[in-house]
Amino acid sequence: NLPKFYIDFDNSTSRDAAKDIKKEIIRLKNIGIKGLVLDLRNNGGGSLKTVVEMAGLFIQEGPIVQVRSMNKESQILRDKDRSIIWEGPLVILVNEFSASASEILAAAMQDYKRAIIIGSKQTYGKGTVQNVFDLNRMVRSNTNGDLGALKFTTQKYYRINGGSTQLEGVKSDIVVPDKYTYVDFGEKNQENPLEWDKIDPVSYEPWKTFFDYNKTIQASKNRMNSSEFISLIDENAKWIKSIRDRDIYTLNYSKFKKDLLLNEEKAKKYKKLSDYSSDLTFKSLPYEIDLIAKDSSLGEKRKRWHKNLSKDIYVNESLNVLNDLRLSYVER
């Protein structure tokens, strides 16, 4: 899981998200991985420079995103490095809280047909850039204390296909419901959001691959439609939506108690969702096993993480999709 696209702007030689992901992919390739899942769930964004470099790990070269300021032509940010770190099957996991830089990466990989996007119906939908201006800098002397700051929007992001990620976010190729599926989240639910629009697309070449994306996506959708567990997740999401939207409550004690008991019964029913566990097993990379031998607390952290992964139906389906992609390559 990548929590954000981090970077230290004051030190160009320090770690950043793109460098760290590159290093981990190389380590994974050295032990012979067959597919890669990049988890961008709950990733609120970060450095634009870093996301462009990270996208370049998966394509040879080309445009990644367009950035446009008011009354100015769009600027095209490109990957100029012809080297590719990972050429194999790629899945990107997203949810309603994947925003900004996360959406740029997911959108670029989707436009290039380089990855399959799995997760919520759409991502957060934040396709704008904000700057903060310190009001204290406007006056030479101030006896009134801190004047605060202004935060204003200066730029807008656009996909290489021309569409904005503003409001609409990135639509998943494979939608897997979660408890927030029917709850209104995202930029479009904020006050006075900028509208969605589009500009001219840029020239780019889709990824030349022998993987059958359409067949793989359909196979996953078929699994979703036939899964009782997925149906229960969707049912739970609708129930959560109904509770959040409720704004009228009875003052009749008998009716109130009846509603309370009904909700308790439903809560027990949906508790089954926390009991989910797959038969997947996970293990740390060789370099980390050496670290764990010296640090028992790290070992405990990894045990908890591996257990959580085995209980994550979204990770499970991502691995199913990777396997289907590999099989589609063999069949072709």
Per-residue pLDDT tens for 167-194?
999 999 999 999 999 998 899 999 889 9
From residue 162, how far is each of 8, 129, 133, 242, 261 by CA, in Å?
30, 17, 30, 37, 51
Residue that has been written with the tokens 């952290």 in this structure = 301
Q: Report the domain count for the chain.
A: 1
The one-letter amino acid code at 71 reads N
Question: Which residue range(s) make up the domain with 249?
Answer: 17-276+311-331
Mean pLDDT of 39-55: 96
With respect to residue 282, please indicate whether it lies within any of the assigned structural domains.
no
DSSP, collapsed to helix, strand or coil, labels residue 210 as coil
DSSP code for 38 = E
CATH number, position 61: 3.90.226.10
Mean pLDDT of 218-232: 96
Q: Assess whether 100 carries a catalytic annotation.
A: yes
Asked if residue 329 has pLDDT above 80, the reply is no
With respect to residue 9, please indicate whether it lies within any of the assigned structural domains.
no
Q: What is the mean pLDDT of the chain?
A: 93
Q: Assess whether 72 carries a catalytic annotation.
A: no
27-43 per-position pLDDT tens digit: 999 999 999 999 999 99
Q: What is the pLDDT of residue 330?
A: 55
Asked if residue 112 has pLDDT above 60, the reply is yes
Asked if residue 210 has pLDDT above 90, the reply is no
With respect to residue 127, please indicate whether it lies within any of the assigned structural domains.
yes
With respect to residue 140, please indicate whether it lies within any of the assigned structural domains.
yes
Q: What is the pLDDT of residue 13?
A: 85
Q: Assess whether 126 carries a catalytic annotation.
A: yes
With respect to residue 299, please indicate whether it lies within any of the assigned structural domains.
no
Asked if residue 332 has pLDDT above 60, the reply is no
Given a contact cutoff of 8 angstroms between Cβ atoms, the answer to whether 125 and 95 are in contact is no
With respect to residue 79, please indicate whether it lies within any of the assigned structural domains.
yes
Q: Which of 4, 47, 79, 126 is catalytic?
A: 126
Q: Which of 47, 74, 100, 328 is catalytic?
A: 100
Asked if residue 18 has pLDDT above 80, the reply is yes
Mean pLDDT is lowest, of 8-12, 65-69, 234-238, for 8-12
Mean pLDDT of 248-273: 91
Handedness of CA 86, 87, 89, 93 (dihedral sign): positive
With respect to residue 229, please indicate whether it lies within any of the assigned structural domains.
yes
Asked if residue 94 has pLDDT above 60, the reply is yes
Length of the chain: 332
Q: Which of 16, 39, 111, 234 is catalytic?
A: 111
The band of 231, judged by pLDDT with boundaries at 50, 70 and 90, is: very high
Mean pLDDT of 21-31: 96
With respect to residue 12, please indicate whether it lies within any of the assigned structural domains.
no
